Structure 1
Amino acid sequence: MASNDSLLFPLVNMDAVANMQNAWVALCLRVQAADGDTGAALHSLFGEPDLLAAIAPLNCILMLASPAVLDAALLARMPVARVSFAFEAGALQDDDGRKRVAALHESGYRILVDGALAPGVSAPVGVTAVACDFTDSEPQSRVLPLVFGPHLAHGVDSAARHAQCARVGYEWFSGAYALHPAPNPAPHDGSSRKRLMTLLGLLARDAETRELEALLKQDPALSYHLLKLANSAAFAHSTAITSFGQAISVLGRRQLQRWLQLLLYARQQADGLPNPLLPIAALRAAHLEALCKLNGGGRDEQDLAFMTGVFSLLDLLLGMPMAEIVGELNLPPNAANALLARSGPLGELLAMTEARQVSAAMLEHAALTPRQWLGSQLHAYHWAIQVSRNL
C-alpha cells in the first residue's frame, strides 16, 4: 500500500531542451501539485537528493506561474549554478513580481520571462532571456533585443516551427519537433537499410557474436561508432580498443545489445549534426525498462522493454511503416503489439513514456505512485544524458 506522503508527491513533467546543434543543454521542469499547493510540491521535489545529481551536468529550468512561491527555505535547496526560473509574463508586471525577480537576480539566479509582456511594460531588472510557448502559434517578431539569452522556444512540435523560431533569435528548443521532421526528398540507401534491418533482426533474436561481427564489418559508419564507444570515458581502458572482437568483449553481451540498438541512431546526418532521435530513443528505452522493473518484470522482460523503447522510433529513423518493420523483425507478440497499437501491458507503459503529460489516473491504472514515476524519469534521463555524451 502506497503511503499518503507518496500519493501526495507531485507529478513532474520534464522536457529536454536542445541547442542549435541538437545537444541537450537543460531540462524544463513543471510540477503538478496533488493538492494545489505549488510551494509544498516544490519542497517535496527539491527535497529529493537524487534530482539534480541524476540530470547532471544539465541544469533545470523551473517553469512557474509566479516567483511568489519561492521562499528562503526552498531557495536554499536550489543551487544558483543548477537552477534557472521561467516566470509567466503576467506575474512580472506589478511591483511585487518585479522586486522578487530583482532579488533572485541579485542572488545569482538566471531568469526568463515566459510569454509577452503587456505593451509598454519593460522587462524587469534581472530578466536575462525570453521564453515563449509555440504550441499553437508561430513567432511573429524577433525576441526582445535588450536581454541576452539564450532564448527558449518551448512547445516546438515540428521541424518547420523549429526553423521559424531559430530565424527570429531563439537558440534553445523543447518540444516534439524531432518526431516531426521535414520531408526528406533524397531516396533512402536501400542496401544500407537492408543491413540495418538484418542487424536489428540479429539483435532481436540474440544472435551469436560472430554473426554481429560479420555484419558490422560491412557498415563502416556503425563500426566507427562502436569502436568510438568502446574507447570512450564510459568504458575507460589502459589500451585502445581496435577490433570488433575486443569491443564486444569490453562491452559485454548484454550491454553490446543495448548500445548497438542505440548506435543505429548515431549515424551522421547529412548536415553533420547529431541525430535528435538518439537521446529520445535512449530515454524511452531506459524509462520503459525502469517501469517494467517496477512492475516486477524479470531481467529478460526488462531487456525486451528496453528494446521496445529503442525500436519505437524506427519508423522515423528508417522512413518505413512500423507494421513493415515489425513484420520483418519477427518480434515477440507483446513487443509487436506495443509498437503497432500501444496495446497490452508493455504498450500501455510505452504510451506513458511518450505522453506529454501523465495524469494521476494514468499512474493509478499502472499501479505506480508519483514518487515512483519521478524515480523512473530520473533513471531514464540519467541514462539518456550519458548516451548523448558518449555516442
Structure 2
Amino acid sequence: MSDQDNPFESLFIARQPVFTPEESVWGYELLFRSGADNVAVIDDESQATASVIADGLTLAIDGMDSGARVLINFPEKLLVEDAGFALPKERCVVEILENVRPGKDTLAAARRLKEAGYSLAVDDFFGQDELRPFVELADIVKMDILALESDPKRIKEGMAGLPGNVTLLAEKVEDNETFKVLRDMGFSLFQGFFFSRPEIIPGRKLTAAETTKLQLLSELSKPDFEPARLASIVQSDPSLTYRLFRYVNSVGFGPVQKITSVKRALDMMGMLQSKQWLRSVIIADLNPSPKAAELAYLAVHRAKFMESICSSSNRNVCEPDTLFMTGLFSLLDAMLGIRMGDILQSLPLDESVVEALDGNGELYDLLRLAASYERGQWGETSQRLKKLSLDSNQAELLYIQSRSWAQKMLGYSKAE
C-alpha cells in the first residue's frame, strides 16, 4: 500500500514552542510532514486529512501542559472542507496559511469556524490589503520578522490599522535582542529559535551548585561508575528519592506493588536507565525557568534520539553514552547564559563530545539531524539522513519513541 493510499503510515510531526513576553510557554505550532517529498502539509481527501490531523494532534500533545494552545496550519483545501471541526476548539487555533486568499468559500469557512467558537490565526501578515478580511476575523495575527529583516519601521507599517483586539505573534525571532525590541513594540507572543540560542550574561560564572551538577553528569558517563554510587546520590537528596519513586511507580516496572526502596527501584530500572533518568533530572534542575524547562526537554529528547539512532547510522563505532551526553549538553549555553566554551573547560568530557558541541566532528552530523527535526526543516533532514545512510521511516519512529521517553523521564507524560 502506498503512502497515498494510507496517509497514516508516513505521518510525522514537529512542534515549535510559542512564548509569552515572560518567556513562559503559551503553546506550540505543529508542523506536519507526510510522505517522501518532505512537504509541510498533508493534501488528501477531506475526511482522511481531518483524521490524520486528529491523530497527529493526539501524538503531539502527549506531555504538553493541559493549558497549552496548539497552532495548526490550514491550506485552502483543509479550510474550505471544514477539516478544522475535527479539532478540539478549546486547545487548537486554526492558522490560515499565507497563500490562502479571502474569497467567498474561504471566508465562509473561516466564519463557520469563528461562529463555532474556534480561534483563528492569519499567517505571514505584513499589511497586505487583500488579507484584511481574514484579519478582521482573526484572534491572532502572525508576522514573519525574518522576512521583514527585523526592521522596526517595516514591522510598525505591518502593525498599522490592525483591530485592537487582535493578538500579535512574532514568528522567526532569531535572537534575544530582537525578542526584547518586539516585546516593547507590543507583541504578545513569540516564536523562533531565540529561546534556544544563548543569551550570554557578562561576568556570569557557574555557581557551586551548577558546577556540582555538571560534574555529576560527567561522572555518570564514566565506564567505571559504580552502581552503589548511584544509590548514594539519590538517597542523599529527598527530592530525587521522591521523584524516583514517582517515576518507577507510575510507568510500570515489574510488579504491581509499590516500590519503597531506592536500591530496589534502581535495580528494577537497570543501571543504564537509572543513569539516564538521573541525568535527565539533573538537566531539568539546572535552571527552574519555563524557558529552561523547554530547553531541558529538547536536550533530553535529543540525547535519547542520538543514542537510539547511532546503531542505525553508517558510523563505524557506536558509543551510545557519548551520543547521549552530546545531546544532553547541546543546549547548556542557552540554559545557563554562559558560553559553551567556558562550560566545557570545567568538565572532563570525551574529545568527540567537545568537538560536536563546538560545531565539528562526526557527532555533529547527528546533532544537526536532531535539530533539523525540531525545526521542521524537512529538506535539511532529508539530506542529513542520506549522508548518514539512515532510513527515514526508521529514524522518524526512533524520534517519536525518544520524545515519549523524554516526556516520561521528565514527568511530562499523561500516564504519570
Q: TM-score range by the shorter chain?
A: 0.7 to 0.9
Per the alignment, residue 51 of structure 1 pairs with 56
Task: Tell me the residue number matched to 2:344.
Answer: 325
164-173 or 36-45, which moves further after superposition?
36-45
Displacement of 1:67 in angstroms is 2.7
In 2, Cα distance between equivalents of 1:142 and 1:184? 35
Look up the match of 1:97.
106
In structure 2, distance between residues paired with 1:154 and 1:93: 22
Which consecutive residues of structure 1, in runs of 5 or more, have no partner in the other structure? none
2:210 aligned with 1:199: no
One-letter amino acid of the structure 1 residue matched with residue 61 of structure 2: A
Specify the code of the residue in structure 1 equivalent to 2:126: A
Say yes or no: does 1:211 pair with 2:233.
no
Q: TM-score, normalised by structure 1?
A: 0.74
- The C-alpha deviation readout for 1:261-280, integer Å capped at 9, x for no partner, is 22333336487875442122
- Quote the residue 2:138 is aligned against: 127
SS in 1 for 2:283: helix
After superposition, the C-alpha distances for 1:236-273 in whole angstroms (9 at most, x for unaligned) are 498796x8657745755323311222233333648787
1:230 equivalenced with 2:230 (yes/no): no
Equivalence for 1:277: 295
Deviations 1:343-374 (A, max 9, x none): 32x43221111234132333333334554454
The runs of at least 4 aligned residues of structure 1 exceeding 6 Å deviation read 2-8, 237-241, 270-273
The aligned residue for residue 85 of structure 1 is: 94
The share of aligned pairs that are identical, in percent, is 19
Q: Secondary structure at the match of 2:309?
A: helix
1:16 equivalent in structure 2: 17
CA shift in 2, pair 1:229/1:250, >3 Å? farther
Residue 363 (1) aligns with residue 385 (2) = yes
Query: Any idea what SS the aligned residue of 1:187 has?
Result: coil
Output the CA distance in 2 between the equivalents of 1:341 and 1:187.
Answer: 23
Q: 1:303 to 1:166 in 2, by over 3 A?
A: same
Q: CA–CA distance in 2 between the matches of 1:227 and 1:142?
A: 55
CA contact (8 A) 2:295 2:331 kept: yes
Over 3 Å counting, the alpha-carbon distance change for 1:295 and 1:216 in structure 2 is same
Counterpart position of 2:43:
40
CA distance in 1, matches of 2:163, 2:246: 41
Candidates 366, 372, 380, aligned match of 1:349 = 366
The separation in 2 between residues aligned to 1:261 and 1:385, in whole angstroms, is 14
Q: Which residue of 2 is the match for residue 253 of structure 1?
A: 271
Give yes or no for the alignment of 1:292 onto 2:310: yes
Q: What's 2:31 paired with?
A: 29
Show the 5 A alignment for 1:116-155: 116-119=126-129, 121-124=132-135, 126-135=137-146, 136-137=149-150, 139-140=155-156, 144-147=162-165, 149=167, 151-155=168-172
The answer to whether the 8 Å contact 2:79/2:109 transfers is no
The CA RMSD measured in Å over matched residues stands at: 4.5
Match in the other structure for 1:180: 197
Given that 2:119 and 2:139 are in contact with CA atoms closer than 8 Å, whether structure 1 keeps it comes out as yes
What stretches of structure 2 of length at least 5 have no aligned partner?
251-255
Q: Give the conservation status (yes or no) of the 8 Å contact 1:117–1:123.
A: no
- SS at the partner of 2:369? helix
How far is 1:15 from its partner? 1.9
Q: Which amino acid counterpart does residue 119 of structure 2 have in structure 1? A: R
CA deviation profile, 1:311-334 (whole Å, cap 9, x unmatched): 222344453544872884342x65
Equivalent-residue separation in structure 1 for 2:246 and 2:89 (angstroms): 31
Superposed displacement of residue 112, structure 1: 0.3
Helix, strand or coil at the partner of 2:139:
strand
Equivalents in 2 of 1:326, 1:210: separation in Å? 28
Letter in 1 for 2:278: L
CA–CA distance in structure 2, aligned partners of residues 49 and 102 of structure 1: 21
State how far apart, in whole Å, the 2-side matches of 1:55 and 1:77 are. Answer: 15
Give deviations 1:275-330, integer Å, cap 9, x for gaps: 44212212212332343355499xx8444433321122234445354487288434
Q: What's 1:63 paired with? A: 73
Structure 1 distance, partners of 2:197, 2:234, is: 30
* Correspondence 1:378 to 2:378: no
Q: Deviations over 1:67-94 (max 9, x none)?
A: 3344648557555455432224563444
Q: CA deviation at 1:96?
A: 3.8
Counterpart contact for 1:286–1:380, Cα < 8 Å: yes
How far is 1:216 from its partner? 6.5
8 Å CA contact retained: 2:73, 2:95 = yes
